[in-house]
């Protein structure tokens, strides 16, 4: 579009990005002949966005699935359970522990049941 006379601002509005993005993209195209990102240093991510979506739907369908088991078996290759936890946290899915309640023993029982008031919450 820019080659045919459109301004960087117009192209940026069409694609919903900033003008600086289109300018940098054109500069990269002029320098390298392609628009792909340059290689970066650092370890590549263990998952991609498609795998992240798969993990999300997997855990939404089965709420009792543990992060450890999905990390070991869901993808066909092993990834860290912390990685799975982080990806699920990005989608707003947290792990919860079941509440067991207080373990009541014989000494916790009231000695006199007439001192205990049972109510259903009504005012009458």
pLDDT digits (tens, 9 = 90+) for 14-49: 888 898 988 988 888 888 888 887 777 888 888 888
Instruction: Kindly report the average pLDDT of the chain as a whole number.
Output: 82
Spatial CA neighbour of 91 closest among 34, 121, 47: 47
Which pLDDT score is estimated for 124?
61
* Tokens describing residue 18: 């900033």
Stretch (H or E) spanning 42: none
- Mean pLDDT calculated for residue range 57-68: 87
User: Rounded to the nearest 10 degrees, how much is the dihedral formed by the CA atoms of 24, 26, 32, 35?
Assistant: 80
Which pLDDT score is estimated for 113?
63
User: Rounded to the nearest 10 degrees, how much is the dihedral formed by the CA atoms of 64, 66, 71, 76?
Assistant: -40
Q: Is the pLDDT of residue 79 over 90?
A: no
- Mean pLDDT calculated for residue range 78-93: 90
What is the pTM for the complete model shown? Answer: 0.48
- Phi/psi region, residue 16 (left: phi>0; alpha: psi -120 to 50; beta: rest), is left
Q: Is the pLDDT of residue 106 over 90?
A: no
């Amino acid at each position: 579009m820019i080659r045919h006379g459109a301004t960087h601002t117009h192209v940026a509005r069409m694609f919903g990005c900033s003008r600086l993005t289109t300018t940098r993209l054109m500069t990269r195209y002029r320098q390298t002949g392609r628009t792909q990102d340059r290689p970066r240093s650092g370890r590549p991510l263990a998952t991609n966005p498609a795998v992240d979506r798969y993990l999300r739907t997997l855990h939404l369908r089965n709420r009792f699935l543990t992060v450890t088991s999905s990390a070991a078996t869901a993808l066909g290759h092993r990834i860290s359970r912390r990685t799975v936890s982080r990806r699920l946290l990005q989608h707003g899915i947290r792990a919860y522990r079941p509440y067991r309640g207080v373990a009541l023993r014989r000494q916790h029982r009231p000695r006199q049941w007439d001192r205990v008031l049972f109510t259903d919450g009504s005012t009458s």
